[in-house]
């Protein structure tokens, strides 16, 4: 089954730095493990995250994948240091036409599972995506697309009131050459209570690498995330 890899070690680092009040600054380059990221980590714990994500342009995808997603959890962030996370967003692979919508789930008892929601979607087509803990059901989450649930209830042990969410673009290639991407994230919001209580994401920590950039609207709930010369030129000409 196809898999979009999560933020891995960087997610755990962001969580530690957020708790300590420090920003992570620049992260890994694509030449180190093949991963790059461009996004924003929330400054504190929340009960969910939502954003309107739009994949822009048809930039170079050499191998591996690119993605733009929102999510919670991460490696080592489940019970007893196990891996546990939930993310939803757009993905793209070299052998598939257009963009896909997906969610990925990792539970402490298993490996990551990739769930495709839709495929063959054009560039420029936005989607409102979210992960949210359910009201009155601690540790139970759902995945949302365009304000409708697209998963059943998902029990994630030990997750209640523990995680600071992330909104990020991601690329991975095993070929040592960076992929290119450009995603727009708008109306990025965090849930202040299970079931909702949405507020715009303010503050937080930028996540970039030596090859990626974000352009954020006055530290507010919108940003552009890009990698690659052509994508970065386009990013510089746009407003988030």
Mean pLDDT, to the nearest integer, of 152-161?
98
Please state the pTM of the whole predicted model.
0.89
- Domains (ranges, CATH) in the chain? 8-236 (2.60.120)
Assess whether pLDDT exceeds 90 at residue 222: yes
CA atoms within 13 A on the CB side of 223: 32
Instruction: Specify the pLDDT at position 237.
Output: 94
Give the tens place of pLDDT for each residue, 176-220: 677 899 999 999 999 999 999 999 999 999 999 888 999 998 888
Assess whether pLDDT exceeds 80 at residue 33: no
- The CA-based angle 225-167-203, given to 5 degrees, is 90
Percent of the chain whose pLDDT exceeds 70: 85
Give the tens place of pLDDT for each residue, 48-106: 999 999 999 888 888 889 999 999 999 999 999 999 999 999 999 998 889 999 999 99
């Amino acid at each position: 089954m196809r898999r979009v890899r999560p933020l891995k070690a960087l997610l755990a680092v962001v969580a530690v730095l957020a708790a300590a009040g420090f920003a992570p600054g620049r992260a890994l380059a694509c030449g180190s493990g093949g991963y790059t990221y461009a996004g924003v980590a929330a400054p504190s714990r929340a009960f969910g995250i939502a954003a309107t994500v739009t994949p822009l342009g048809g930039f170079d995808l050499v191998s591996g994948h690119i993605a733009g997603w929102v999510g919670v959890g991460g490696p080592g962030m489940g019970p007893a240091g196990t891996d546990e996370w939930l993310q939803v967003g757009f993905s793209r692979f070299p052998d598939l036409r257009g963009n896909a919508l997906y969610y990925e789930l990792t539970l402490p008892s298993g490996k990551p599972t990739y769930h495709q929601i839709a495929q063959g979607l054009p560039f420029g087509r936005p989607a409102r995506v979210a992960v949210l803990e359910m009201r009155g059901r601690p540790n139970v989450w759902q995945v949302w697309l365009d304000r409708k649930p697209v998963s059943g209830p998902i029990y994630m042990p030990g997750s209640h009131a523990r995680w600071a969410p992330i909104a990020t673009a991601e690329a991975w290639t095993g070929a040592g050459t960076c992929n290119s991407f450009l995603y727009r994230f708008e109306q990025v919001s965090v849930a202040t209570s299970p079931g909702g209580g949405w507020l715009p994401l303010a503050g937080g920590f930028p996540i970039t690498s030596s090859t990626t950039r974000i352009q954020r609207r006055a530290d507010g709930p919108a940003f552009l995330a890009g990698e690659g010369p052509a994508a970065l030129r386009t990013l510089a000409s746009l407003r988030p």
